[in-house]
């Protein structure tokens, strides 16, 4: 069952979304050479506690993970792209870091992710980061009443192909609202004009992610961290949006930043 949200409910989600955006901006600011992933994890824990929010990741135990997840943020480095388990790793010059965060405030959830370059950025890393950001904006642009879910998927896939990146369809976006994962699933590839008709009140987490040279993934021994199968670098961009009568509303939009916004 797909639950459409009222304007008031969307505003509640927007409260959570603004906080998620604030945290991810802070993580991007702190992500620098010599910073340990566990320090970032504990900093985010403190921010969540001070805000009175709840992590959607803590104790999360889906079928694909080796649960329960006992962290509040996913931190994935270089060829890792999804569900990265924070661990004792110190960021190095030239790394790329993906941070993915979902929290609940007063019973309403928002979810967002970003990839940033650490220290001296490689141009190919910046290119794949920009590609995921472009794909996300293209997906948001077509998230309008009367369009189809396939239009979103096709928009993401088109940007990936324009940049020469393959697309994995195993993990993608999803509905969101009272819980982190709701129906429908939003694939990162698909055919325009197909699938669910988009309606005002539909809230979605859209999340294009690409690896440079493969659409296959492997899991770390931790049972969570997902990497590109060939070790190529990755990037991931995600926003929670609401479809309205007018333009799509991005609930997790970050303020422009001077640091790490390339």
Q: Is the pLDDT of residue 67 over 90?
A: no
Mean local confidence (pLDDT), 156-160: 98
Q: Quick one: pLDDT at residue 52?
A: 98
Nearest alpha carbon to residue 132 among 92, 103, 173 = 173
Q: Quick one: pLDDT at residue 168?
A: 97
Q: Is the pLDDT of residue 46 over 90?
A: yes
Q: Is the pLDDT of residue 145 over 60?
A: yes
Which residue numbers belong to the known binding site?
A: 83, 100, 111, 174, 181, 207, 238
Q: 63 Cβ partners below 8 Å, 6+ apart? A: none
- Written as six digits, the tokens of 133 are 């950001």
Could you tell me if residue 122 is left (phi over 0), alpha (psi between -120 and 50 degrees) or otherwise beta? beta
Q: Quick one: pLDDT at residue 257?
A: 65
Q: Is the pLDDT of residue 159 over 70?
A: yes
CA dihedral in degrees (15, 180, 70, 234; nearest 10)?
A: -100
Which residue numbers belong to the known binding site for a divalent metal cation?
A: 100, 111, 174, 207, 238
Higher pLDDT, 253 or 62: 253
Percent of the chain at pLDDT exceeding 90:
94
Q: How far are the Cα atoms of 105, 111, 137, 169, 195 from residue 54, in angstroms, in the given order?
A: 7, 12, 28, 29, 33
Mean local confidence (pLDDT), 161-190: 97
61 burial (CB, 10 Å; 0-12 / 13-18 / 19+) is exposed
Q: Quick one: pLDDT at residue 258?
A: 47
CA 150 – CA 195 distance, rounded (Å): 5
Q: Quick one: pLDDT at residue 91?
A: 98
Percent of the chain at pLDDT exceeding 70:
98
Mean pLDDT lowest among 43-57, 163-177, 245-259? 245-259
Q: Quick one: pLDDT at residue 259?
A: 41
| Sheet with 80-82, side-by-side order of all strands | 80-82, 226-228, 217-219
Q: 199 Cβ partners below 8 Å, 6+ apart? A: 4, 145, 243
String of DSSP letters for 111-163: EEEEEEE-SS--HHHHHHHHHHHHHHHHHHHT--TT-BHHHHHHHHHHHHHHH
Mean local confidence (pLDDT), 19-46: 98
């Amino acid at each position: 069952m797909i639950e459409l949200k009222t304007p008031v409910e969307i505003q509640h989600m927007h409260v959570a979304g603004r906080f998620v955006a604030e945290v991810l901006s802070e993580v991007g600011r702190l992500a620098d050479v010599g910073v340990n992933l566990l320090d970032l994890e504990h900093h985010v824990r403190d921010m969540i506690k001070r805000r009175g929010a709840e992590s959607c990741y803590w104790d999360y135990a889906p079928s694909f993970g080796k649960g329960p997840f006992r962290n509040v943020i996913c931190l994935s480095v270089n060829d890792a792209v999804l569900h990265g388990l924070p661990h004792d790793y110190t960021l190095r010059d030239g790394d790329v870091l993906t941070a993915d965060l979902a929290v609940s405030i007063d019973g309403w959830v928002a979810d967002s992710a970003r990839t940033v370059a650490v220290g001296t950025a490689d141009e190919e890393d910046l290119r794949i980061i920009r590609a995921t950001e472009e794909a996300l904006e293209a997906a948001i642009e077509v998230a309008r009443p009367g369009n189809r879910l396939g239009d979103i998927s096709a928009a993401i896939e088109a940007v990936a192909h324009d940049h020469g990146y393959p697309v994995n369809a195993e993990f993608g976006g999803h509905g969101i609202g009272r819980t982190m994962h709701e129906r429908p699933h939003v694939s990162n590839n698909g055919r325009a004009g197909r699938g669910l008709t988009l309606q005002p009140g539909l809230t979605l987490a859209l999340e294009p992610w690409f690896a440079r040279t493969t659409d296959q993934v492997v899991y770390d021994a931790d049972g969570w961290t997902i990497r590109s199968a060939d070790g190529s670098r990755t990037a991931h961009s995600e926003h929670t949006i609401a479809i309205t009568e007018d333009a799509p509303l991005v609930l997790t939009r970050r303020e422009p930043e001077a640091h790490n916004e390339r």
